[in-house]
Amino acid sequence: MLLIALVLYLLIWNALQTVRVDGDSMDNTLQNQDLLLASKVSYDFGGNPQRGDIVVLVPPGDSSRDFIKRVVGLPGDVIEIDGSGGKSKFLIKAGGKGDFQQLKEPYLPEDWTTMNFCCTPQGMQSNAAQPVTIPTADYFVMGDNRNRSSDSRSFGFVPRKNILAKAFLRIWPLNRFGGLGAGPSLAGLALAPATAWLGLRRRLRTRRRQEPFTHRA
């Protein structure tokens, strides 16, 4: 029984870790001093980080500390951050295909007004909205508290090997015990009225050209 208990302990020790949140970069999803449970094996059996996962990672260029952030961009995605018009938008072509879609993130605690233009070829903030393709085996991560987060906008894309674990459960404080909430979703962008009208006129012209003519004797 002692041997079985020791084996189970070692398995759990190597599969899970506790993570203490330090700072407010993930407010309101995670708060300072929250204690989380994270899986160190979630991505070891053929799986990869998914959009919305909250992960423990080593930031590029600084191996002295671990960060906890949310994955928002996946390998092959074309991403762009546009802060014009007074409302920041995170735009994605998922897998590099189709039209841009906007990332819907109901968990953000406030309007996002800083570091709201991206991206350079390395995935960092820029002076204007610029699309960039996330390289193979790299990820784009951000804190939920966008105005107070050091994330990919500061240090660039995160290699897969730098992602250590997936956080999945808050175990302290007890009054907030439970899962970490729902992730983001993608929504199509609404066309501007003028653009929509031009598109409708094109469709009508195409339809007229395709309709057969009738001849009345």
Which active-site residues does the annotation give? 25, 69
Find the Cα–Cα–Cα–Cα dihedral 67, 73, 74, 75, rounded to 10°. -100
Place of tokens 């994330």: 151
Separation in Å, CA 41 to CA 11, 105, 123, 167: 11, 27, 27, 11
Q: Nearest CA to 155 among 139, 172, 135?
A: 139
Cross-strand pairs, 37 = 18, 169
CA-wise closest residue to 188 among 108, 99, 117: 99
**Tokens linked to 51:** 């959009």
Amino acid, res. 178: G
List phi, psi (to 5°) of 203: -65, -40
